[in-house]
Amino acid sequence: MATRVVIGTQWGDEGKGKYIDILAADSDIVVRFSGGNNAGHTIVAGGTKYALHLIPSGILHEGTTCIIGNGVVVDPAVLIKEINELKDKGVNTDKLLISDRAHVIMPYHKRMDELQEIARGKDNIGTTKRGIGPAYADKTERCGIRMCDLIDEEIFAEKVRANLRIKNAIIEKVYGGEGFDADSIIAEYSEYAKILKKYITDTSVVLFDAVEKGKNILFEGAQATFLDLDFGTYPYVTSSNPVAGGVCTGAGLGPVFIDEVYGVFKAYTSRVGAGPFPTEQNNEIGDKIRELGWEYGTTTGRPRRCGWLDAVMLKYAARVNGLTALAINHVDTIGKLEKIKLCTAYIKDGQKVDYFPASLKELSKCEPVYEEFDGWNEDISKVKSFDELPDNAKKYLKRIEELVGVKIKLIGVGKDRENTIVVD
Ligand code: GDP
Ligand code: IMO
Ligand code: MG
């Protein structure tokens, strides 16, 4: 039995979906434990592209059970659309399960997300406007609606009416927006309930049973360490805990069952939305990386901000997640640059620091210290072993391992699941 966790170590979009799809080949169960459809996970298999937002990236493997855990917030309309799109592509979605404790994203969450962003003005977070933050806020506020409530007509109607009394007042009186009619929400969501009912169950029981039977379980991180509510660049973060610790609370499995934690990162760094980014290249280098790596959001289509790889961030991610392995992507992309920079530390107030400060004011004083590497402008997409990589690529990867103190086990040299080096 092996229980593996795959998480993002930067600001998201590191290529987690691609590695989940690969590792799912020998996993019995793949589980999403945090976030919602703010995530966009891309898989390219046999030339076909799949963009998944809620359904775990193990779904392409016929025998794999895919679980949406209790820590996820679920927009039922988006989920149903995703199920239908996969079915249209010939993917079997019968082995999908949804936790009865997962919270439901409601229409007022999406509207609140938009109105709050407008109200923040120039200090906006740049959210995906999918209602994620307001849904988690309601969970904490104890007025959220869970999947078990969605499929109970009486309780659902009661909760919608109780919520709308307050939500409509806030939307209309505080934000000057338009409120909602309870009956139409109840009618719309009762249709979703009918479709989703067969998938909803106590998934924590399913997981524990699988552990007892010695099955292989894979946890699929969404978002990333620096978007984590506690460990990210607060307040420019998402509203859940995408770090490895989120597995236990977001799926209902104890920490003793976790064997390995893979930290995924790109050979450079990208970020969508607002917030600090010490190695950002808001210049022609950043533009070049964006075009070479095609850095446009899988969920919102927004251009991603791009910059150099930051080993200070990776070291921090290794610590807070307990990483046992690193998985790099876009080694093909970065090699196309003539010169590559890697941030090894920061200079703050004249002192060298190798930690990531909590205070954004302190962080803004951090100037990256770089080491420079030569690129390797050759097609490496078919390379299958570390030894066959160009010498310049090997030097770059070895230096990253040395700085972070964790071994690189997976190397991405292209978009397709085939373009992967598994290091022995
Ligand atoms: P996720 O959110 O972490 O699953 O990542 P996304 O799917 O949002 O973004 C990763 C992007 O990089 C997608 O367009 C992938 O197809 C692409 N990708 C992943 N790995 C590689 C790689 O090794 N090389 C190249 N060129 N593209 C990659
Ligand atoms: P995957 O799983 C990149 C960012 C948003 C915004 C902030 C808060 O594909 O890596 P939210 O809508 O969550 O309240 O937005 O978090 N964000 C992501 N950025 N990849 C993601 O997911 C993201 N999910 C949220 O852009 O800055
Ligand atoms: Mg993504």
Same domain flag for 251 and 274: no
- Residues 152-185 pLDDT 10s: 999 999 999 999 999 999 999 999 999 999 999 9
For a pocket test of ligand 2, which of 272, 298, 300 has the largest count of ligand atoms closer than 8 A to its C-beta?
Answer: 272
Q: Which helix (H) or strand (E) holds 361?
A: helix 360-364
Query: Mean of the pLDDT values across residues 192-200?
Result: 98
Q: Is 41 a catalytic residue?
A: yes
Q: What does the block give as tokens for 233?
A: 């660049």
Same domain flag for 19 and 93: yes
Q: Is 315 in the pocket of ligand 1 (CB under 6 A)?
A: no
Query: Closest residue (by CA) to atom 16 of ligand 1?
Result: 415
User: Active-site residue among 61, 103, 109, 139?
Assistant: 139
Q: How far apart are CA 366 and CA 44, in angstroms?
A: 37
Same domain flag for 247 and 276: no
Residue 5, sorted as left (phi over 0), alpha (psi -120 to 50) or beta, turns out to be beta
Query: Mean of the pLDDT values across residues 305-325?
Result: 98
User: Active-site residue among 13, 21, 113, 149?
Assistant: 13
Q: Is 139 a catalytic residue?
A: yes
Dihedral sign of CA atoms 329, 335, 337, 343 in order = positive
User: Does residue 404 register a pLDDT over 90?
Assistant: yes
End-of-domain residue from the set 196, 214, 248? 196
Question: Ligand 2: residues whose CB is within 6 Å?
Answer: 8, 11-13, 38-41, 125-128, 130, 132-133, 222-224, 227, 238-239, 272-273, 298
User: Does residue 1 register a pLDDT over 80?
Assistant: no
Comparing 138-147, 292-301, 312-321, 339-348, the range with the smallest average pLDDT is: 292-301
Same domain flag for 403 and 270: yes
End-of-domain residue from the set 147, 167, 196? 196
User: Active-site residue among 28, 41, 75, 266?
Assistant: 41
Q: How far apart are CA 2 and CA 226, in angstroms?
A: 27
CA 17–ligand 3 middle distance (angstroms): 8
Q: How far apart are CA 252 and CA 205, in angstroms?
A: 8
Q: Which atom of ligand 1 is nearest to the CA of 43?
A: 16
Same domain flag for 68 and 214: yes
Same domain flag for 311 and 272: yes
CATH of the domain at 329: 3.90.170.10
Mean residue pLDDT across the chain: 97
Q: How far apart are CA 177 and CA 296, in angstroms?
A: 30
- Residues 221-256 pLDDT 10s: 999 999 999 999 999 999 999 999 999 999 999 999
- Residues 47-102 pLDDT 10s: 999 999 999 999 999 999 999 999 999 999 999 999 999 999 999 999 999 999 99
Residue range of the domain that includes 178: 103-196
260 DSSP β-pair partners: 4
Quick one: pLDDT at residue 298? 82
User: Does residue 299 register a pLDDT over 90?
Assistant: no
Quick one: pLDDT at residue 315? 98
Same domain flag for 37 and 138: no
373 DSSP β-pair partners: 340
Query: Mean of the pLDDT values across residues 355-374?
Result: 98
Query: Mean of the pLDDT values across residues 27-42?
Result: 97
Quick one: pLDDT at residue 28? 98
Query: Closest residue (by CA) to atom 7 of ligand 1?
Result: 42
As a whole-number percent, the residues of the chain with pLDDT over 70 amount to 100
76-88 vs 182-196: helix crossing angle, rounded to 10: 40
CATH of the domain at 28: 3.40.440.10
Torsion of CA 129, 132, 137, 140, to 10 degrees: 180
Annotation: binding site for substrate? 298-304
For a pocket test of ligand 1, which of 18, 32, 57, 384 has the largest count of ligand atoms closer than 8 A to its C-beta?
Answer: 18
Q: Is 53 a catalytic residue?
A: no
- Residues 405-424 pLDDT 10s: 999 999 999 999 999 999 98
Residue 359 binned pLDDT confidence (cut-offs 50, 70, 90): very high
CATH of the domain at 168: 1.10.300.10
End-of-domain residue from the set 261, 294, 310? 261
Per the structure, how many domains does the chain have? 3
As a whole-number percent, the residues of the chain with pLDDT over 90 amount to 98
Q: How far apart are CA 110 and CA 119, in angstroms?
A: 14
Same domain flag for 275 and 399: yes
Same domain flag for 343 and 230: no
Name the more confident of 40 and 1: 40
Quick one: pLDDT at residue 424? 83
Same domain flag for 291 and 395: yes
All residues with CB under 5 Å from ion ligand 3: 13, 40, 298
CA 165–ligand 2 middle distance (angstroms): 30
Query: Which one-letter DSSP state was computed for residue 296?
Result: B
Per the confidence metrics, is the pTM higher than 0.85? yes
Q: How far apart are CA 15 and CA 42, in angstroms?
A: 7
Same domain flag for 271 and 224: no
Quick one: pLDDT at residue 300? 83
Quick one: pLDDT at residue 211? 96
Query: Mean of the pLDDT values across residues 319-340?
Result: 98
Considering every ligand atom shown, identify the ligand nearest to the alpha carbon of residue 41 and give its number.
1
Considering every ligand atom shown, identify the ligand nearest to the alpha carbon of residue 21 and give its number.
1
Quick one: pLDDT at residue 210? 97
Considering every ligand atom shown, identify the ligand nearest to the alpha carbon of residue 419 and give its number.
1
Same domain flag for 328 and 359: yes
